[in-house]
A and B are shown apart, each in its own frame.
Chain A
Amino acid sequence: MSLVHILALVVLAAGSFFLLVGSIGLIRFPDFYSRCHATGKSDTLGVMLVIFGLVLIEGLTLNSAKLLIILAFVGLTNPTATHALARAAFRFGLKVWFRKPPAGERPEGPSQES
């Protein structure tokens, strides 16, 4: 097992870790816009890392060229799709979530009671 293969396995493990973190953020965050933040960046980085690890294992062939095309495509389109969805939700009229201020403290900023 050469050094490139060990590096590829490490990159694959890191990519699946980022996919897991993005999924947990999709569950745990309180708001639609913060969920967009979780899944738009973590998932993109995870998919790109996994595909890069597969390219390292595959070597220099036609398939790895196609894999690099998929990598570039995902890196372009996944944040674009998330941004389009968030913009459409803002036009849809979805309220932005604000943290509730502690008791006995005046709310500041544009936080309105919903």
Chain B
Amino acid sequence: MLEHEFFLVLASVLAVIIFIPLYRVLAGPRLPDRMLGAGAIGTKAMVLILLFGFIFDRLDMFVDITLAYAVLNFIGTVAMAKYLSSRREGKP
């Protein structure tokens, strides 16, 4: 089964790629950089959940989880932007 192996390799590569925005979250010089890295991690985790659905052959379950995760990721980023626009730089 060639496709199964391909999905496994792709999921492994994606799990390594997720660590790159994590560096931006940990070492970002300013607050908005960390928020942007968190959003990028959420987007990549969505794809990873879909690939898990194909690997485990339970796509009917994992597709719904992915849809909920996409909505939560969007709302989380918008909430972070709302919080960010409510304060000024330099002031606590």
Q: Which residues of A contact B (CB under 8 A)?
A: 1, 5, 9, 12-13, 15-16, 19-20, 22-24, 26-27, 32, 35-36, 39, 43, 46-47, 50-51, 54, 57-58, 62-63, 66-67, 69-70, 73-74, 77-78, 80-82, 84-85, 87-89, 91-94
Q: Complex: how many Å from CA A91 to CA B29? A: 18
Inside 8 A of B54's CB, which chain A residues have their CB?
A: 54, 57
Q: Are A85 and B80 in contact (CB under 8 A)?
A: yes
Q: Complex: how many Å from CA A32 to CA B37? A: 11
Q: Which single member of A5, A39, A51 contacts B50 (CB below 8 Å)?
A: A51
Give min CB distance, B53 to chain A, whole Å.
Answer: 9
Give min CB distance, A30 to chain B, whole Å.
Answer: 10
B8 interface hit (Cβ, 8 Å): no
Give min CB distance, B35 to chain A, whole Å.
Answer: 6
Q: Are A92 and B32 in contact (CB under 8 A)?
A: yes
Given contacts A58-B59, A85-B80, contact A94 B20 (CB under 8 A): no
Q: Are B43 and A43 in contact (CB under 8 A)?
A: yes
Q: Which single member of A35, A47, A62 contacts B47 (CB below 8 Å)?
A: A47
